[in-house]
A and B are shown apart, each in its own frame.
Chain A
Amino acid sequence: MVEEEEESLRVVRSGGSELSFRRAVFSADSKYIFCVSGDFVKVYSTATEECVHVLQGHRNLVTGIQLNPNNHLQLYSCSFDGTIKLWDYLDGILIKTFIVGHKLHALFTHANAEDSVFVTVNKEKPDVFQLVSVKLPKSSSQEVEAKELSFVLDYINQSPKCIAFGSEGEYVAAVRDFYLSVYFFKRKKTSRFTLSSSRNKKHAKNNFTCVTCHPKEDCIATGHKDGKIRLWRHFDDDKKYTYTCLHWHHDRVMDLAFSVTGTSLLSGGRESVLVEWRDAAEKNKEFLPRLGATIEHISVSPAGNLFCTSHSDNKIIVIHRNLEATAVIQGLVKDSSILTGLMIDPRTKALVLNGKPGHLQFYSLQSDKQLYNLDIVQQEYINDYGLIHSQLTRAAFGCSGNWLATVEQRQEKETELELQMKLWTYNKKTQGFVLNTKVNMPHEDHITALCFCNAEKHETPTLVTASKDGHFKVWILTDDSDIYKEAVGWTCDFMGSYHKYQATNCCFSEDGSLLAVSFEEIVTMWDSETWELKCTFCQRAGNIRHLCFGRLTCSKYLLGATENGILCCWNLLSCALEWSTKLNITVMEPDPNSENVAAVSKSSVGSDLFVFKPSESRPLYVQKNICREEVQWGVFVPRDVPESFTSEAHQWLNRSQFYFLTKSQSLLTFSTKSPEEKLTPTNKQLLAEESLPTTPFYFILGKHRQQQDEKLNETLENELVQLPLTENIPAISELLHTPAHVLPPASFLCSMFINSLLLSKKTKSTEEIPDDVDMEEEKESDSSDENDFTEKDQNTSTTDLAEDGEDIIHQLSKSEERELRKLRKVDYSWIAAL
C-alpha cells in the first residue's frame, strides 16, 4: 500500500481471480454460495450464477470462510492479514473485525464452540502448523482484538482439507503424512493412528490427503494418495479401532464430503468424476463424470439439496442432489501456461487466450464472464498425470475476425515434434468457426510467431509464420475451386530465410506494405508485394524479443526490444537507428487506436510501465512498480465509447484500456477511479425493498397465523404456559417410541395420556396452576443433571398408581424419566383441581 502523490492511476484486478482456492460454502437456504477469491469473498447466486456481492476488506489473501453457526445470515472469513471478519452477506456489509495477529491459514467453526472459532496458524518453523481456538470477545466496537488463543492440536497439515470436526463438535480429526490424529475435546486426549509407510510398493502411497467426519455417527472418512478411501470407526479406543476401505479412484483423492444426513459420501479427484458412495458400501456408487477438470474441493449445502465441486480450472459447479449439474460459476480459466498471449477477438470484443487444455477461451471483459471455450485441438483430454497432450501454442485473428489461425504442438521427446496449424474461417451463416485448412508440420521446428496482415487495402488475406527452423513462411488465401465445388484454401506463397538464423518475430506494418522478420539479432525488412529483402537492421544487442511497427503518424518507426535490455527505434525512411535506450522489456504492445506503445519492464522490485510514442524521446506516462511479479502478456482493448481524460497522464487511456497478465495469471488493468468512488455504487445502488404480494396460501395460512398472533396477544402471560405444552408433544412421542416391553400397561398410560391432553385446556382457562407448572418446569430444566432424589421428595404425595409407574420408570432412561415425571405432575395437578 505505497501511497504516492499525484498518482491517479491504480492497478485493479479484473476478473479471473481464483475461485477454487478453498472450499466453497453454501448459505443455509442454498440460495447463495460463497467462495474466496484473492483478497475478497464473493457471493454468488446458485440459481443464476451471478455475483451478488463482493465482500472486500481483507488486505491479503482470504484463506477461509465459514457461516456463523449462531446466525446463519452472517459469515466469518479469515485471511493472511491476521484478521477474522464477520460479514452480513445479504447486504454485503462488514460487521466486525477481530484482530488475531498471526497469519491465519484456515478457519473452522462449530455450533458447540459458541463464541470461539478455530484457526490454523504457523509457528516458527515453516512447515509446522497448529490448530488453535480463538475466543472472539463480545464487544460493540467495529475492531476487536482477539488475542485469547488456546492450543488444540500441533503438527498438522496446512490445508483445511486435512482437518475436520466431528459430530456435535466432540472431536477433531487431523491428518498428516501417514497418520490420523483425533482430539477429543471432552477428554482432552489425542489418539493417533498410523498407517504403514514402508517403502515397498503396496504401502508407498498411503499418505493421507483429506479427512471428513460423519455428521451423525462416529465415523471418519479419510482420502489417500493411492485413491483409497478409508472409513474409521471406534476410534475412541486406541486398540479396538477398525477401518474399511473403498477404492475406486486410481489417483489421489482430492476431497471428501458427507451428505447432510450422512447417508452418502462424496469423493473426487483428478479423474474429474464425482463419486457418490451410498451407505458407505463399495457396491452402491453413483457417478457424475466429465466435469472437465480435477475436482479440488467438494462441499455440501446445509439444506442438503445441493453439492458443489471446485475445479482446478477455476470453476465451481453446483450440482443437484440427484447428481445433475445445474449451474457453473466460471472464472478465467487458468491453464498451466499461457502461450498464446492475450488477444482481442475483433468480432465479439472478447479477450482470447489459452483456456482449458487445447481450447481457446473467450472472456468478456465487460461482463467479467467467460463466454465460451473453443475446442481447437478436438482430442479427448485424459486427466492423468504424466501424459503429454497437444498444446495450443499460438493463435491469431485476421481480417476483422473472419480468420483464426491456431498452432498446436505436442512434443514428447526432443526429436518428436508434432506441429499442426489450423486456419479457421468464421462462417456467418452458422455463426461459428469452420476449419478451412489444416497444415501438418508447417515448419520443421517450433513456430515462434504468427501474424496476419490486417491492412485494409490488402485484398488477399495473408499470414506469416516464423519458426525456429530458420524460415518464415507466407501463406495466402487462394482459390481452390474445381469442377466439383467452389472453395478457397491457404497455400504457402513464399518461404524466406536469412543465413540460417532462427526466425523469432514477425509483424506487418500498418499499411501492410512491409513485413519485418527478426532473425535472432537481425531484423529483416521484406516487401510484401514481391517478397524481396529490402534492408536489415542489426544492433548486436542480443536476440530480438519483441518487434512492432509504429502506427498512424509514427508509422515510419520500427521498434525492437532485445533480450539484453535494449529498446531500439529505427527510422524506416533513413534506415538508421533513431534512438535506443536501456530497458529490460518483457511486454511491448502497440495501441491499435493511437500511436502509443506500452512497454512493461522488469526491475528487481517489480514491473514498471512505460507508455511512449516512438516519435518522442520522452515517455508519455511512467508508472513504477505496477505489480510485484513479472508481467507476461499485455494487450490494449479498444474502448467502445472513448473517454475524455484531459490530464496528460490519463490521455493514453482515452481510446483503449490496457490489460496485462502476470506470471501468477491474474489479469490486471488500470483504473482512474478512486477507491471511495469505487465503493459508492454499492451504497448508492437502487435499493428496492422486497415486497411480495399475498398468495392464496398466505390467505389460508396467514389468517390462521394472524389468529394465533391475536390469541398470543390476548394471553401474553400465557405464553410461558404454552411453551411447556409444545414441549409436551415430543414427550408423548418419546413415550410412544419406547419399546413396548418396557412400558407400563396401556391402561395405566392411557389415563396419563388423556390427562396430559386435558391439562392444556385447563392451563389456559385457569391461571393459578400454570405458575406451579412453570416453576416446576424451571426447576427441572435447572436440575436436569441432578439425580431424582429431590424430585422424589417433591412428589411424595403422588398416588399409588404413580408409584407403581415410578418403579417401571427406573428402568427407563433418564430423559424418559423426566418426561414421565412431567406427566406425573400433570396428573397431580389434575387431581388437585378435582
Chain B
Amino acid sequence: MAAGGGGVADPLTPAGIPCAFSPQSQAYFALASADGHLRVWETGSNRLHQEYVPSAHLSGTCTCLAWAPARLQAKESPQRKKRKSEHIETSNQIDLLALGTAVGSILLYSTVKGELHSKLTSGGHDSRVNCIQWHQDNGCLYSCSDDKHIVEWNTQICKVKCKWKGDNSSVSSLCISPDGKMLLSAGRTIKLWVLETKEVYRHFTGHATPVSSLMFTTIRPPNESQPFDGITGLYFLSGAVHDRLLNVWQVRSENKEKNAVMSFTVTDEPVYIDLTLSENKEEPVKLAVVCRDGQVHLFEHILNGYCKKPLTSNCTIQIAAPGKGKKSTPKPIPILAAGFCSDKMSLLLVYGNWFQPTIERVALNSKEPHMCLVRDISNCWAPKVETAITKVRTPVMNSEAKILVPGIPGHQAAIKPTPSQTKEVENKRKLGGNEVSIEERLGALNIESNKGKADLPQTNSFPVLLAQALESNDLEMLNKVLQTRNVNTIRRTVLRMPLHAVIPLLQELTKRLQGHPNSAVLMVQWLKCVLTVHASYLSTLPDLVPQLGTLYQLMESRVKTFQKLSHLHGKLILLVTQVTASDKTKGMTCPEQKAKLVYEEESSEEESDDEIDKDSDDNWDEDEEEKESEKEEDVDEENAEEDEEEEEKDEEIGEDRDVASEKELNGDSDLDPENESEEE
C-alpha cells in the first residue's frame, strides 16, 4: 500500500510519486498521481484546489515536479514613508509548477490561471526527465534525464540555455547550492559542477543504486575560521533507491576525501525527504524522511565532522486507522509526504491514498521516540461538491454529547460544604456521639411509630418491595412502586420503609425528577411524603447538604419562575376579588342608603382572607415544631380545613379549582427550603 503508485516496471526507479509542497508557507501541495492527473491541494483547508490533466498524460506521465520559487520579495530596509490603507501585496504568490515527463518534455503549469503556461521541449531531453530544480534567483531551470544530459533552461523565453553531458549513465538527481553558483548532480557518481563554467569541481562516490534525492543541509560551514567561499565546508545529503541509508557528505577544500561523512538509517527506502536548513553552527538540522513503508523518521542532529555509526531516528511517526470493533487491530495508514512548516516546529503530514490524501499539521513538541496517530479517514473519501462551493463545515453533533439544562447536576456548581461548615457538622456529630441520646431518642421514636403502625396489618403498601427494588436497582420493580398514584399508598409505604432506604429513594426520586415534567408530577408526591415523614431523620445526617444539593438545585431551578407566578397570582386574586367586590358594591349602591353596609362586607372579606393566611401560617408554624407523624396528620387536617374553607367561602369556589391546586403546589415547594433551613 505504501507508495504503491511507485510500482513501476524498472526496479531502479525511485519509489515515490512526484509531489511537493509549495515553497515558503506550504500553502499548497502538488501531487502528480499515477493516473496522470496533477492535483493541487490546499494544505490549510485540506481541499482540492485544482486538478489538471496534461494532454499527453498517458504517454508522458509526470516523473518529477518542482514549484518555482515565489515571486521575489524585496528585503527589509529601515527608512520609509507612510501611506494609509494600502493593500497587502500578495507578493509571495506561488504560481508556476514545473512538471517533468517520461517522454522528456517539461511542462510549466500556472496554478493561478489554472492552465498550461508553456512547454519546454525544443532542444531538451529525449528521454525520461528525472529531476527538475529551479534556480532560486535568476529564474533558470535545471533538469536532468535518462539521456545522460543536464539542461539549463531559460524560462523567460522558454529556450535551452545550455546542455551538457552530465554522466556516462542516466542522471537521476540534481541540487543547487545555497549560494546558487554550484550544482550537484547524481549519476554513477555524485558530481559538483560550477554553474558558470559547467566544469566538475568535486566527485563523490558511495551509492550503489541510483541516487533519488540530493539536498544541501547547511548554508554556512561549521567552522567559521576560514573565509567562506560559498561551497567549502557545506554538508549535503543523498538518498538512493533501495537504500536504507541516507548519506551525508561534506564539500572539502582539498580534493581527498570522497566518502560519506556520516549516515542516517531508516526502516525502508526513502520516498520523500524534507529538512530545515541549519543557518548557524548551533542550530541542528531537522530531517523528516518518509519511507516506503509509510513511516516518517525524524532526525535532529548538529552536523560536525565524522560519525562512523549510522544514526538512528529521534522520533518515528506512524498513522493508523482505528479498527471497527473493539478487538480488531488498527490498520496502518501510509504517510505519503511530510514537510516542515516555516516555524520549524510543526510538520505537515500527507497521508491516506494518493487520490484523496489528508493533510494535517502536527506539532513536534513531544520527546517520545515513537508517535502513533490514530486517524479515521474512512469518511474522507467521497469529495462533496456542495461543501466545496459553500465552504461550510458542519461539526459533529451526536447524541453522545452531554446536555446540561438548568437543574441537572453539573449545570450549577455542586453544593459543597465549605470547610468551616464541615467542621461544624463534624462537631455536631461528635457531640451527638457524646450525647447519643438524640440519636437514640430518634431511633426510639421511629421504632415506636413503626411499631404503632405495625399493629395495624395493612396490605395496600409496599415498603419491602421498594427497599428491595432500591437495593437491587431493579428498574421494573421501581417503576411498579413509584408509579402508584394513590396518595395514601404512597404515604403508608414511606412511613413503613426502612430508614436506610430513605437516601437511595431520594436519589432515585431526584434522578426521575430530572426527566420529563409529566413523569415528575408523580415523583413530587413521593418526594413530599418522604420529606415530611423523614425530615427528622434527614436532619441528623451529617452529609445531607452534598447529598441533597442536587435535589435542592433542581427544585430551585424548577420553581425559579414560581415566585413571580405566585406574585402574579396573588395580585390577580386581589384584583379579581376587588372587581367582584366592586361589582357587588355597584349592585349595592343602587339603594343609596345602604352604602355603609357595603363597606362592612368588604372588610369582612378582607378579614376572611387574612384568616386563611393566618391559618395556613399557623399550620406551618406548627409543622415546624411538631414531629413528622403529626405533621402528616396536620397536612391532612389542613387539607380538610381547606376543604371546609372552600365550602364555606363562596368566592373561593367561584374562582376556580386551579387556585386550590396551586395552593397545594405552593405548599410543596415551600416545604423544601424550610427543611433546608431546619437542617442548617
Contact = CB atoms under 8 A, between A and B. Distances in A.
B373 interface: yes
Interface residues of B, number: 87
B164 to A, nearest CB: 23
B84 A1 contact: yes
A431 B396 contact: no
Interface string B57-89: 000000000001101111011111111111111
B119 A424 contact: no
B223 interface: no
A400 B116 CA distance: 41
Contacts of A690: 117-118
A325 B45 CA distance: 20
Given A367-B44, A431-B46, A489-B410, A375 B322 contact: no
Nearest to B365: A400
B281 interface: no
A434 B156 contact: no
A455 B115 CA distance: 49
Given A641-B342, A673-B80, A674-B81, A691 B119 contact: yes
B122 to A, nearest CB: 8
A376 interface: yes
B390 A292 contact: yes
A681 B114 contact: no
A490 B87 contact: no
Interface string B380-398: 0000000001111111111
Contacts of B45: 362, 364, 371-372
A56 B83 CA distance: 13
A688 B81 contact: no
A681 B391 contact: no
Interface in B505-526: none
A733 interface: no
Contact of A45 (B68, B74, B113, B389): B113
B476 interface: no
Interface string A683-698: 0111111111101000
A530 to B, nearest CB: 9
B395 A688 contact: no
Nearest to B363: A400
B374 interface: yes
Nearest to B87: A13
Interface string A462-502: 00000000000110001010000101011111110000000
A359 interface: yes
Interface string B144-180: 0000000000011110000000000000000000000
Contacts of A684: 71-72, 74
A688 B117 contact: yes
Contact of B82 (A4, A374, A688, A691): A4
A430 B404 CA distance: 25
Contact of A681 (B74, B85, B87): B74
Q: Categorize the interface residue count of chain A.
A: 35 or more
B411 interface: yes
Interface stretch (A136-144, A180-188, A435-443): A435-443
Interface string B25-62: 10100000000000000101110011000010000000
B96 interface: yes
Interface stretch (A74-82, A219-227, A664-672): A664-672
B677 interface: no
B412 interface: yes
B80 A674 contact: yes
B88 A695 contact: no
A679 B139 CA distance: 19
Given A438-B402, A640-B343, A686-B95, A692 B112 contact: no
Contact of B114 (A13, A45, A687): A45
A10 B412 contact: no
Contacts of A433: 395-396
Contacts of A370: 391
A48 B111 contact: yes
B536 interface: no
A10 B80 contact: yes
A671 B83 CA distance: 10
A328 B115 contact: no
B21 to A, nearest CB: 13
Contacts of A672: 76, 80
B358 A431 contact: yes
Nearest to B385: A325
B50, B89, B95, B374: residue with the most chain A Cβ atoms closer than 10 Å = B89
Interface in B242-267: none
Nearest to B393: A372
B112 A348 contact: no
Contact of A435 (B105, B111, B396): B396
B121 interface: yes
A669 B85 CA distance: 9
Contact of B396 (A10, A434, A673): A434
A59 to B, nearest CB: 10
Given A681-B89, A686-B71, A692 B379 contact: no
B403 A440 contact: yes
A627 interface: yes
A2 B496 CA distance: 90
B112 A438 contact: no
Contacts of A489: 402, 410
A278 interface: no
B113 A691 contact: no
A371 B44 contact: yes
A373 interface: yes
B406 interface: yes
Contacts of B42: 367, 371
A741 interface: no
A495 to B, nearest CB: 4
A475 to B, nearest CB: 9
A31 interface: yes
A529 interface: no
A521 to B, nearest CB: 25
Contacts of A487: 400, 402
Interface in B92-143: 93, 95-96, 105, 108, 111-119, 121, 139
B497 interface: no
A376 B397 CA distance: 10
B79, B86, B156, B342: residue with the most chain A Cβ atoms closer than 10 Å = B86
A17 interface: yes
B406 A440 contact: yes
Interface in A311-325: 317, 325
Interface in B308-330: 322
A38 interface: yes
A686 B68 contact: yes
Contacts of B156: 687-689
Given A8-B78, A364-B44, A495 B412 contact: yes
B475 interface: no
Contact of A330 (B85, B376, B391, B393): B391
A604 interface: no
Nearest to B72: A684
Given A47-B113, A681-B73, A366 B27 contact: yes
- Which 8 pairs show the lowest CB-CB distances between chains A and B? A491-B410, A489-B402, A47-B114, A48-B114, A433-B395, A681-B91, A685-B71, A674-B80
Given A440-B405, A691-B118, 15 more contacts: A2-B84, A8-B82, A12-B87, A13-B86, A45-B113, A48-B113, A374-B394, A428-B373, A433-B395, A440-B403, A441-B405, A442-B411, A490-B404, A674-B81, A675-B86
22 contacts: A8-B82, A10-B81, A10-B83, A11-B84, A12-B88, A47-B114, A328-B389, A375-B395, A428-B373, A440-B406, A441-B405, A495-B412, A640-B341, A671-B88, A677-B74, A678-B86, A681-B73, A681-B91, A687-B139, A687-B156, A689-B157, A691-B119
Interface of B: 25, 27, 42, 44-46, 49-50, 55, 68-69, 71-74, 76-91, 93, 95-96, 105, 108, 111-119, 121, 139, 155-158, 322, 341-343, 358, 360-361, 363, 373-376, 379, 389-398, 400-406, 409-414
